[in-house]
Structure 1
């Protein structure tokens, strides 16, 4: 491990701790067994991410957390408050029935980005 990573400072120290923690984790005996049986070589162990070294239970929990976070993001996109207006003419059908919402997509000193959807033809466009 020392030959691969080098002196333990900063990020490297966190890598040492991660490897030692995962090898000594009582809920993850499979990792230690695989290393002792030679199924996982030490050179490979040092390059593994914490997610790869985690127990199967922890990997399932991580996947559930990611799915929950993803579904929350998708749900939040659907719940954006949209306002109706007749200020924006649609370039496709020339109607003025539109819904829009605004997001701060760039830095705070830049104007907000306005996303507009035509109610009539479902044409989408944005402007700052």
Structure 2
């Protein structure tokens, strides 16, 4: 039973690696079959069983290798830039296309910027402070006091987002 599941997974991986035009890969289908074998073996070696984690890992690799919006992953794997052991352990974030990685990074940056702005929105605009990064005086200050501790003043530059404590 175990052997047949692994053979089926290898065939599915091999199918996911197939390309319309194999002319630029001298080894052709033998190379692809070997890579599929090595990838499945690397996944099995890491997880040691055919339970849910193994099957989910295989599904994840199949999905990412078949993704028409991410041909770079398959290409890098076929050309040896990414080894079977590396691909076996990659996270979804690492397998994502460059475009998706950029979108995620932009989303994170936007979220951080919005959170900083919301936090400082309750502060007071001031030109008493000069930003050490951009040298402008367009700042917001916020005073906080926690229990019996002294009042702390936080300043954020509205031009570049630089933050500091005074």
Q: Same fold (TM over 0.5)?
A: yes
Using a 3 Å threshold, how does the CA distance of structure 1 residues 8 and 58 change in structure 2: closer, same or farther?
farther
**How many pairs were matched up?**
94
1:40-99 deviations in whole A, cap 9, x for unaligned?
1100111111111101111111111111111111112102479xxxxxxxxxxxxxxxx8
Using a 3 Å threshold, how does the CA distance of structure 1 residues 72 and 15 change in structure 2: closer, same or farther?
farther
> Residue 17 of structure 1 is aligned with which of 47, 59, 74?
59
Query: Residue 107 of structure 2 corresponds to which residue in structure 1?
Result: 65
Using a 3 Å threshold, how does the CA distance of structure 1 residues 14 and 64 change in structure 2: closer, same or farther?
farther
Aligned mates of 1:35, 1:5 — CA distance in 2:
21
What are the within-5 Å matches in structure 2 for residues 1-128 of structure 1?
1-80=43-122, 116-117=151-152
Aligned mates of 1:77, 1:12 — CA distance in 2:
43
Aligned mates of 1:56, 1:6 — CA distance in 2:
31
Aligned mates of 1:14, 1:101 — CA distance in 2:
48
More strand by share: 1
Unaligned 5+ runs, structure 2: 1-42, 125-141, 154-164
Using a 3 Å threshold, how does the CA distance of structure 1 residues 28 and 3 change in structure 2: closer, same or farther?
same
Aligned mates of 2:81, 2:106 — CA distance in 1:
28
Q: TM-score, normalised to structure 2's length?
A: 0.46
Is residue 81–residue 101 contact of structure 1 (8 Å, CA) maintained in 2?
Answer: no
Is residue 51–residue 59 contact of structure 1 (8 Å, CA) maintained in 2?
Answer: yes
Is residue 8–residue 16 contact of structure 1 (8 Å, CA) maintained in 2?
Answer: no
